[in-house]
Amino acid sequence: MAGRKAMDELLSNFVKKGPAGCGCIVTKDGERIYENYFGIENINTGKPIDADSIYRLFSMTKVIICTAAMKLFEEGKFLLNDPIYEYFPEWRNTQKVVYHPNGNYDIVPVEKPILVKHAFSMAMGIGYGGNDATHQKAAEVRRRLREAKGKYYTLREDIAAMSEVPIAFEPGTHFLYGFGHEMVAGLIEVCSGMTVGEYLKKNIFEPLGMTRTGYRFFDDITDHLVTPCRREPDGSLVQVPAMMDENMQPDATYEAGGAGLFSTVSDYSKFVVALANGGIMPNGEQLIGRKTIDLLRDNQFNPDQLKELRNFYNAGYGYGLGVRTMMGRALGNSNGTPGEFGWTGAMGTYTLIDPEENFTTTYMHQMMPNMEEYHHLRVRAVAYGMLR
């Protein structure tokens, strides 16, 4: 296919001016129609990037977490319209911030409770950053927790502590990228009786043969970690802090829902191939139901939330249960398929999953800033160009 040559040229040009190295796998009907790796894995040693290279997934963890949680939904362990306090009682008396025109604000009780679906769809009201009252309180709560526990605090302790934080709006009324998927990960723990890591290993990683994916470094994983880097104006590469590697150490205790996993391009591709194939794994067994995947990728947002989500990078997308979902080719300036879904990670990981075409693309690099709008949208365009 001509698209293979185009992808080779695209990725080889990426590593000349962007990330130190990258890898990409494209599949159709479960078969790899493209796989290649360019550049270097370790900028200090010059070691080439290859199929064994390990990437920090950051927010591409979310797609795995939400899929795992929806497996429990299929088992009747929770409903999306359940109040979140049924699973985390400390969240029963949630409060919200109400701002006044003069800039002052009040803290008042919410009118309706946070629902499980609000945690999935980032509509619960606690974000990852900002200078607003909600973020300031969240930062204070996290600071106290870390001072008390160091690196040994747990997801459930984090969720309990964050119940003190007044949310930024009435639940379900806006989009605010943030803490929701920590709540989803906690829901996995409550409903399964296992830690998130244990549940993922048993129900996602082992069935799919994802032997190089996890929360904690094991075996020779650290020998294959891709160096996180920044491209300087003069074209040189500079190593930058990895962020969150402390939570990947063997003695760490925190397992996040919104980030925290590491993987290879190949391992992650195994996961998304199953989702594109209606939840059916290569051995013929079902990982998750086809109709549940349809629910996962169905847009949950109202027009106001869509405006809050969409920018150049997310043009044309709505948001489902933890994944963006394409609502129209022209809207998204995309040669892809309406209903295609996936997500991105902070240092440049990216996936798209297309059940209509039984087609996937998984691309990864480790770079800050990640320049996702430049790299990912081009990968998307070239990958879809491979389809006949």
236 and 366 share a domain? yes
186 and 219 share a domain? no
- Residue 203, classed as helix, strand or coil, is helix
63 and 104 share a domain? no
188 and 202 share a domain? no
Residue-level pLDDT at 2: 66
96 and 231 share a domain? no
130 and 53 share a domain? no
224 and 112 share a domain? no
* Domain limit, last residue, from 160, 192, 224: 192
* Domain limit, last residue, from 159, 192, 225: 192
Establish how many alpha carbons lie within 13 A of residue 293's alpha carbon, considering only the half-sphere containing its beta carbon: 25
Range of the domain at 91: 80-192
241 and 174 share a domain? no
329 or 312, which is more confident: 329
pTM over 0.95: yes
220 and 306 share a domain? yes
Residue-level pLDDT at 131: 84
236 and 188 share a domain? no
101 and 204 share a domain? no
Mean pLDDT of 157-186: 97
pLDDT tens per residue across span 3-39: 899 999 999 999 999 999 999 999 999 999 999 999 9
Percent of the chain scored above 90 by pLDDT?
Answer: 95
Cross-strand bridge partners of residue 95: 109
Q: Which pairs count as long-range contacts for 295-298, CB under 8 Å and 24+ apart, including other chains? A: 295/70, 295/320, 295/321, 296/66, 296/67, 296/70, 296/320, 296/321, 296/322, 296/323, 296/341, 297/321, 297/323, 297/325, 297/339, 297/341, 297/353, 297/355, 298/325
CA–CA dist 184, 204 (Å, integer):
16
pLDDT tens per residue across span 206-265: 999 999 999 999 999 999 999 999 999 999 999 999 888 999 999 999 999 999 999 999
CATH of the domain at 139: 1.20.58
Total count of domains within the chain: 2
171 and 271 share a domain? no
Q: Strands, DSSP E only, in 232-374?
A: 237-239, 262-263, 317-319, 324-326, 341-344, 350-354, 359-364
CATH of the domain at 360: 3.40.710.10
